[in-house]
Structure 1
Amino acid sequence: MTGPWTPGEGGADAKRHAPATLRNRDAIAEVLADWLPPSGTVLEIASGSGEHAVHFAAAFPRLIWQPSDPDRDALISIAAWSGEAGLANIAPPLALDASAADWPPVAADAVLCVNMVHISPWAATTGLFAGAVRLLPAGAPLILYGPYVEADVATAESNIAFDASLRARNPEWGLRDTRDVVAAAAEAGFAFTERRAMPANNLMLLFRKAG
């Protein structure tokens, strides 16, 4: 598995490029078509380069796409990609740290987080659930995408190597066990609803805010 885009990589151009985006965006969009509401606002946490935001906003024109990221370079990249796309349903990117106790004012009917859980401290994941439960109405979806470890499924060799490389870069990073993610979600007030296996040994996990 190829490593993710991280702030500071790339050239002087404001637009960053995450190679994995081109490989996974259509597969993710197929699942989102089943899981997202027909209209409303989708808050994307840790939008990174902004390429997913542009692709999904184009794929779901009835939804307002609200990208966010805690990193300044990422916010500049998101703004550059969305500005080039010229789509009316992409909101300006928000500076938002999932682990923060207070999030900026924003309304959301769904929350999406792609490839953050494994490349951030665990506090970002628990903060994601805590922040999302404050925003979302009952029954609304919180959707995660990325590589995980599962108790009953053999971990692919590529994911084992990826996990080791992440932990070498930062001991607080690494692939999370889905049991821990589901437990943290439940503690925050989310019910685990569905799991979808994705290409390249990734998963999409659907949670819904309890009523």
Structure 2
Amino acid sequence: MMRGPEPWEPGSGPVFADKRHAPATTRNRDAIANILRDELPPSGLVLEVASGSGEHALHFAATFPQLQWQPTDPDPAALASIAAWRADADLANLRAPITLDASADWPVTQADAILCINMVHISPWDATLGLMQGAGRCLPLGGLLYLYGPYTRDGVETAPSNLAFDASLKARDPRWGLRAVHDLIAAARDRGLAFDRLVDMPANNLSLLFRKS
């Protein structure tokens, strides 16, 4: 899966220069955690696909210490950032990052829940199909696939800021762009995942919850 420019700021200092900071993470992590608090299993392994800077994995591992967290990414710079944040935090339940390309073969065969935050719109559609396929294979019956990001909905006006964002993504790579919720639901259904619910989030984003059926 091709990855494009990330909304990252470089780290600093002699030890953790590999750290990256994504400002959006600070803005959305607590709102996402509020959703996950009622949806995640009481124990087990949470797989995060496309972990980016690693800040979400760090925050959620600290917030939900009863769960094991497995961050992943296909980008070596992202993996280095995740490892740097992890080394600084020293959380026993945050595993070392591993390479995972959503559109290719997965090195993980089992997970009790799967998270994917802000990947679907900034990757080819094949990556989303691979995400759904992998979730259908790895999750137990009733297991959660959680998606977060900007999407479009039938009958709901898309915010001007999201329309502008969509245009900028497609200008950068015509394979990118905001996806329609109904397309995601159909793709999930074809791969053994049932749509559970949608939650409106701050800044014109959505949470989409699917369950292994």
Shift of 1:8: 8.1
Q: For residues 37-116 of structure 1, what are the structure 2 equivalents within 5 Å?
A: 37-100=41-104, 102-116=105-119
Match in the other structure for 1:20: 24
Q: Which runs of 5+ in 2 are unaligned?
A: none
Deviations 1:106-152 (A, max 9, x none): 43100000000000000000000101111111110000000000012
SS at match of 1:196: strand
Q: Indicate conservation of the 8 Å contact 1:150/1:177, yes or no.
A: yes
The residue that corresponds to 2:183 in the other structure is 180
**Shift, 1:78, TM fit:** 0.3
Identity across matched positions, percent: 65
In 2, the alpha carbon distance for the partners of 1:179 and 1:64 equals 31
Task: Return the alpha-carbon distance in structure 1 between the equivalents of residues 113 and 166 of structure 2.
Answer: 28
- 1:190 touches 1:208 (CA, 8 Å); kept in 2? yes
Matched, 1:125 2:125: no
Instruction: Say yes or no: does 1:35 pair with 2:39.
Output: yes
Ranges of 4+ aligned residues in structure 1 off by more than 2 Å: 7-12
Amino acid in structure 1 at the alignment position of 2:22: A
**Residue aligning to 1:150:** 153
SS in 2 for 1:137: coil
In 1, the alpha carbon distance for the partners of 2:110 and 2:98 equals 12
Cα contact 2:7–2:22 (8 A) shared by 1: no
1:161 to 164, 171, 175: 164
**What is the one-letter code of the residue matched to 1:173?**
W
Residue 105 of structure 1 and its aligned partner are, at CA, apart by 3.3
- Tell me the matched-pair count: 206
| TM superposition shift of 1:10 | 2.9
Question: Secondary structure of the residue that 1:188 maps to in structure 2?
Answer: coil
